[in-house]
């Protein structure tokens, strides 16, 4: 029997004061946890789950090098992201604004299909508090068809150029190395790849050569087919963990430093509503990978499914609920459409955390 142990932080406390040796800080952020759920898998089958208090750390580390590595990853601070001259700290949650320069994105397709209009929207996001503006020129909604790279470049370069020249930290949302190269040349400073560098064999080498941060997004199949009865051999949370772990290893093998890798569980990318809910409920497990976590759940279909089929432009409240669920589990980056509202929600969250961390 081949067993594997996973550690999910839980039993979060408001503050560490008076709990010496009983709590641990999660990934150098603003959360402390008092226990981990130790889940044991035999292949694709979960055989046990046990809550282990942090004060019984020796029991966890006795499980072997795998558990030691997971614990080290859970409790090691995440390095800030260097985006050209901008530094994005990850000891507190940050917002990445979604800027779709496409005619067919599921939520805002066609709104910003010109460079000037897109740039104005991106500057507004930055002014509202977005640490990063994520520019995309190809829709990856379920059922979307691929876009020729030349068209994608033509869509994104004007906006990227204007935003970067104005001092905004820009990420490029693409699967194609040619588009990555054009965007990085125009001033983008990070790559957000929904294929996790699997779509284009040149992408990993390009990212490694440039030395920029990259977001690896979990997916199950291409956009054209990913939502056709998605299924997993093991519980989705652990399937996504294992898949991202393999993609991190592949990125490192290509020369990308782990400190520059961000992971995203890919809400809606080959998942049904139950899969998405399971991932959000267990999101803290992914800290065991040792990389910052980005969550992109803004306006996603699952919100409509849980709220009387609300259309994409009426899913703000649901988006905020998912965003706060994520930061309560230590997610460092939120990729969102509604920047001012999300930033306000995070400021309130931060105020509550700051108050809890003042000794009384």
pTM here is: 0.95
245 and 172 part of one domain? yes
* Domain hosting residue 34, numbered range: 3-75
220 and 348 part of one domain? yes
pLDDT 10s digits, 143-196 = 777 889 999 999 999 999 999 999 999 999 999 999 999 999 999 999 999 999
31 and 178 part of one domain? no
132 and 57 part of one domain? no
Average confidence (pLDDT) over 185-213: 97
Distances (CA, A) of 137 to 11, 178, 180, 262: 41, 13, 11, 21
Question: Which among 75, 103, 126 is the end of a domain?
Answer: 75
Strand partners, 172: 135, 191
284 and 352 part of one domain? yes
Tell me the pLDDT of the chain averaged across its residues.
94
d(CA 351, CA 357): 10
Cβ atoms of 105 and 141 within 8 Å: the answer is: yes
Question: Which among 75, 108, 136 is the end of a domain?
Answer: 75
What confidence category does residue 106 fall into, taking pLDDT thresholds of 50, 70 and 90? very low
Q: Known catalytic residue: 145?
A: no
Closest CA to 292 of 213, 231, 357: 213
66 and 103 part of one domain? no
For the chain, what is the domain count? 2
133 and 206 part of one domain? yes
Question: Which among 47, 75, 103 is the end of a domain?
Answer: 75
106 and 247 part of one domain? yes
pLDDT 10s digits, 137-154 = 998 777 777 889 999 999
Closest CA to 94 of 265, 291, 292: 292
Backbone angles phi, psi at 109, to 5 degrees: -60, 130
Catalytic residue among 247, 300, 301, 315: 300
**CATH code of the domain covering residue 275:** 3.20.20.20
91 and 135 part of one domain? yes
56 and 97 part of one domain? no
Q: What is the dihedral of CA 18, 28, 344, 351, to 10 degrees?
A: 20
**Per-residue pLDDT at 131:** 98
User: On the CB side of 76, how many CA atoms lie within 13 Å of its CA?
Assistant: 17
Closest CA to 84 of 158, 203, 164, 197: 164
SS3 119: helix
SS3 186: helix
Closest CA to 39 of 14, 11, 4, 87: 4
**Per-residue pLDDT at 329:** 98
d(CA 52, CA 35): 5
Catalytic residue among 38, 155, 335, 353: 335
Strand partners, 333: 94, 294
Q: What is the dihedral of CA 298, 303, 305, 308, to 10 degrees?
A: -130
Q: Known catalytic residue: 260?
A: no
53 and 148 part of one domain? no
Cβ atoms of 295 and 335 within 8 Å: the answer is: yes
Strand partners, 216: 193, 263
29 and 130 part of one domain? no
């Amino acid at each position: 029997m081949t067993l594997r142990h996973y550690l999910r932080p839980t039993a979060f406390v408001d503050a560490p004061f008076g709990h010496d040796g009983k709590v641990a800080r999660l990934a150098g952020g603003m959360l402390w946890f008092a226990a981990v759920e130790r889940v044991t898998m035999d292949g694709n089958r979960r055989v046990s789950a046990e809550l282990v208090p942090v004060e019984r750390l020796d029991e966890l580390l006795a499980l072997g090098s795998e558990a030691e590595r997971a614990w080290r990853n859970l409790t090691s601070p995440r390095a800030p992201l260097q985006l050209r001259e901008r530094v994005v700290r990850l000891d507190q949650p940050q917002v990445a604004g979604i800027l779709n320069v496409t005619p067919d994105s599921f939520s805002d397709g066609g709104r910003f299909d010109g460079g000037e209009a897109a740039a104005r929207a991106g500057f507004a996001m930055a002014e509202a508090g977005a640490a990063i503006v994520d520019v995309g020129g190809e829709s990856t909604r379920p059922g979307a068809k691929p876009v020729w790279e030349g068209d994608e470049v033509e869509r994104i370069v004007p906006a990227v150029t204007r935003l970067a020249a104005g001092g905004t930290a820009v990420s490029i949302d693409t699967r194609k190395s040619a588009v990555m190269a054009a965007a990085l040349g125009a001033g983008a400073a990070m790559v957000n790849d929904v294929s996790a560098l699997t779509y284009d064999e040149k992408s990993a080498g390009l990212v490694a050569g440039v030395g920029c941060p990259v977001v690896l997004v979990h997916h199950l199949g291409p956009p054209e087919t990913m939502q056709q009865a998605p299924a997993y051999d093991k519980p989705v949370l652990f399937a996504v963990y294992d898949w991202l772990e393999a993609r991190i290893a592949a990125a490192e093998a290509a020369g990308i430093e782990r400190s520059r890798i961000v992971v995203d569980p890919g809400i809606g990318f080959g998942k049904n509503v139950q899969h998405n809910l399971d991932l959000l409920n267990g999101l803290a497990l992914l800290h065991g990978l040792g990389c910052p976590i980005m969550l992109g759940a803004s306006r996603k279909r699952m919100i409509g499914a849980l709220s009387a089929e609300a259309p994409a432009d009426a899913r703000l409240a649901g988006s905020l609920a998912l965003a706060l669920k994520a930061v309560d589990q230590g997610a460092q980056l939120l990729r969102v459409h509604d920047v001012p509202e999300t930033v306000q929600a995070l400021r309130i969250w931060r105020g509550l955390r700051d108050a809890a961390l003042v000794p009384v």
